[in-house]
Amino acid sequence: MSTKILSLGSQFPYFKKTAAVSTEPGKEFFEITSEDHKNNNQWMVMFWWPKDFTFVCPTEIASFNKHHQDFVDRDTQLIGASTDTEFVHVAWRKNHEDLSGLKFPMLADTSKSLAEELGILEANEKVAYRVTFIVDPQGIIRWVCANDLSVGRNVNEVIRVLDALQTDELCPCNWQKGEATLHA
């Protein structure tokens, strides 16, 4: 049985999950919910990867981290997520040089309930596909991008689309922030 990925115009599902936010003893974990960004009138970018301690995933996570300030500047909460536990997330952060200074939470969907509700749970291995969601401050999904397990995503494209969505204007092909929008 295959599920369908939640798509444009759908309400992002409610969640309340533990996330790894630090490697400092006693400060490793924090609970985050789907309401946090809405309560702060922020956008949310949630990107999923299949497994910790793999090869493609840390390249993406490090790239999102490199661009963390770009998301902050766009009043956007950035959340990374997988079906691994919060303890595995902390161990990975401690053991991978590129992940030691992450500035965003790594959500632990150990029950796989959120990945399943989003329709992004791979059927055989029961891991999340590489999927990125851009969610507006009202909790509505405005963009979804899904990659096969073996292909990393382009963080610059996520930022470009976020910029376009935040204009609330018509944006032509390859539009970049600062360029003219279209008028009907």
- For residue 96, what are the contacts with CB-CB under 8 A and spacing of at least 6? 58
Known active-site residue 145: no
CA 36 to CA 144: how far, in whole Å? 20
Q: Which of 57, 145, 171, 173 is catalytic?
A: 57
3-state secondary structure of 167: helix
Q: How far is the C-alpha of 124 from the C-alpha of 92, rounded, in Å? A: 24
Beta-ladder partners of 17: 32
Got the DSSP string for 119-139? T-B-TTT--B-EEEEEE-TTS
- List, by residue number, the catalytic residues: 57
